[in-house]
Amino acid sequence: MKAGCSGGGCSSGCGSSGGNAAPRVVPEIDSEAINTGVPFDERRLNLGATPTKGTFVTFIDLDLTVECNLRCTYCFKEKWNEHMEERVAFDAVLWLLHASGPTKNVAVNFMGGEPLLRFRLIKKLVPFGKRRAWQLGKNIHFGMTTNGTLVTDEVVSFWKKWGMGFHTSIDGTPEVQDRNRPTTGGRGSSQLVEKSVPKVLQYRPHTTARSTVVPDSAATLVESYKYFRSLGYINVAFVPGGPSFWSPESIQAYEKELMGVCDLVMDEFRQGRFIYLKGIDDAIQGIIRDKRPNHACGAGRGLLLVDIHGDIWPCHRWNKDHHQSWRIGNIYQQFDDLVRAELDRPNHTDLLEQNCEICVANKFCAGGCPAENLEETGKVYKRHPNACELTRVWARAGQYVHDVLLKEGNATFMAHYYKDKNSQLN
Ligand code: SF4
Ligand code: SF4
């Protein structure tokens, strides 16, 4: 089910964790500390607070908490130590089952903060959602975006039992990870994540090592790639974050390093191993497909966020005080079709304020992350110039890999990208 940050060059992926000294026991939230905005007694799930027009909602991000055990240097979350009350979480699942209308397959992605801080709630919520979906003749899939620091054997067993998916974030070599993603106590988080990686890869070998790259780490991609491979990752994403922090020099360093990573990836192809490299893969798919996608992601269309208060937003990057005009509603109050209509359009690329016609990335770029655009330029359909330039780096690197391996007739490359064009490139 495509709905999340699949193609937006999204730099989200904030993490959390407890620090090297933190116990590996998953802490549970103190329910006394909960603040839901709407007084408890007044809250009644409003099944009328669902879309009356436009796309059915089939996927929600669910912020179980905004508490986090990491303090990533680039994190965009504004609040700390606030948590979703259990009842709101259960109601949000019921809300999705109704907001999805006749659609049979729906999905929930637990987010935060760090969602595994709410593992005890998750253990009740998933069986509840599965049972209620079954009663309504639907299928519901659960997943989570976690920083990987609280993944225990019990967590992995639970994932396996319920077929859950997950996204994990790891920024690079221990030095990079410790610098970018310190714990609340200011210590590094690399050791915590390293302990989780074997469990995670044993369950899902194709899990992506998802790295947020900032200018300070732009010159470390080759080393980080080697490190990820040594851990066993075969899917890797180096996603630049915070476009306004980049300079021409740091973008140049990013391109040089990414080209170095491409050379290493091509060597692996030559040895018969397929390595997925986010951005490069997007660019190659675009070259072969020769048709631009209409949307970067599903935000505000099939995908919405329900935050800790039950408020509804386009996705997990929008629920900020200064974005109040983008609040779509609340599961206990109302759903504003007009607010959502700004995003629920058949084509976003036609609305972009860039010169996409002459851009080398225009076969795969659909305008980047709309939420990031809003933060950087004040407009959903206008990108920061650095964001475009960083996307063009992906385009040039993808073209390089495509042309070299195509010329060589590399069997692994051809089998993956050209064997069955129709099925591979959708
Ligand atoms: S708008 Fe939201 S879902 Fe879309 S790419 Fe950005 S962060 Fe991801
Ligand atoms: S100009 Fe910017 S938005 Fe348009 S295709 Fe190029 S990178 Fe994407």
Mean pLDDT of 42-65: 89
Least confident stretch, 43-52, 91-100, 289-298, 395-404: 43-52
| Average model confidence (pLDDT) across the chain | 88
Confirm whether 10 is domain-assigned. no
- Give the count of domains, the chain: 1
For the cut 50, the answer to whether the pLDDT of residue 266 exceeds it is yes
* C-alpha 1 – ligand 2 centre gap (Å): 25
How many CB atoms neighbour CB 422 within 10 A? 6
State residue 165's pLDDT score.
93
d(C-alpha 369, C-alpha 381), whole Å = 9
Q: Is the CB of 363 under 6 A from ligand 2?
A: no
Which tens digits make up the pLDDT trace of 84-113?
A: 999 999 999 999 999 999 999 999 999 989
Q: In residues, how long is the chain?
A: 426
Residue 374 Cβ inside 6 Å of ligand 1? The answer reads no
Q: What confidence tier does 5 reach under pLDDT thresholds 50, 70, 90?
A: low
* Pocket test residue of 77, 210, 297 for ligand 1, highest count of atoms within 8 A of CB: 297
299 lines ligand 1 (CB under 6 A): yes
In a domain? residue 24: no
Residue with the smallest CA separation from ligand 2 atom 7 is 388
Position in ligand 1 atom list of the atom nearest CA 10: 5
pTM: predicted TM-score of the whole model, two decimal places = 0.87
Ligand 2 near 361 CB (within 6 A): yes
CA of residue 236 to ligand 1 center, whole Å: 19
- Residue 38: pLDDT band (50, 70, 90) is low
Report if residue 203 sits inside a domain: yes
Task: Identify the domain containing residue 327 by its residue range.
Answer: 31-418
Supply the DSSP symbol for 296: S
Q: Round to whole Å and give the CA distance between 159 and 123.
A: 10
pLDDT band at 323 (very low <50, low <70, confident <90, very high): confident
The tens digit of pLDDT for each residue in 140-150 reads 999 999 999 99
Predicted local distance difference test score (pLDDT) of residue 12: 39
pLDDT band at 301 (very low <50, low <70, confident <90, very high): very high
Inside any domain, residue 108: yes
Count of CB atoms within 10 A of residue 315's CB? 28
* 77 closest CA partner among 61, 66, 62: 66
Write the residue with the smallest CA distance to atom 3 of ligand 2.
367
Tell me, yes or no, whether 19 lies in a domain.
no
Predicted local confidence at residue 44, as pLDDT: 80
E runs forming strands in 137-207: 139-146, 165-168
Instruction: Report percent pLDDT > 90 for the chain.
Output: 81
Residue 287: CATH number of its domain:
3.20.20.70
What is the number of the ligand closest to the CA of 286? 2
| CA distances in angstroms from 78 to 87, 309, 369, 375, listed in the order given | 23, 15, 19, 13
pLDDT at 6: 40
On whether residue 23 sits in a domain, the answer given is no
* Residue 16: inside a domain: no
State if residue 371 touches ligand 1 by the CB under 6 angstroms criterion.
yes
* Structural domain contains residue 331: yes
